[in-house]
Amino acid sequence: MVILTDKFLVGIGSCLVALGVAFLLATPYMLDTRDPFVLGGFFWSIVGGTTIGFGWHAGDKKTKQLNTMR
């Protein structure tokens, strides 16, 4: 389970960024609730991007640990 943590975080982060983009794309169709869609789009994009960053960091850390064990 620990081995796939980095890939899992990158995958979840990508899904969250896609959710944020979907919110931003839905904004023109929901004019009466435009502001929550914009806020939600930016929020989920930022959370997803941060999650992807954590996944990359975990992958780099795992790679460094594996290289020192060899």
For residue 69, pLDDT over 60 is answered with yes
Distance in angstroms (rounded) separating the CA atoms of residues 20 and 66 = 34
Residue-wise pLDDT tens digits, 2-58: 567 888 999 999 999 999 999 999 988 888 888 888 999 999 999 999 999 999 998
**H helical segments located in the chain:** 5-26, 34-69
Cα separations in angstroms, 62 against 49, 66, 69: 20, 6, 11
The values of phi and psi at residue 31, to 5°, are -70, -30
Q: Which pTM value belongs to this model? A: 0.81
Which pLDDT score, from 0 to 100, does residue 2 have? Answer: 57
Domain boundaries, the chain: 5-65
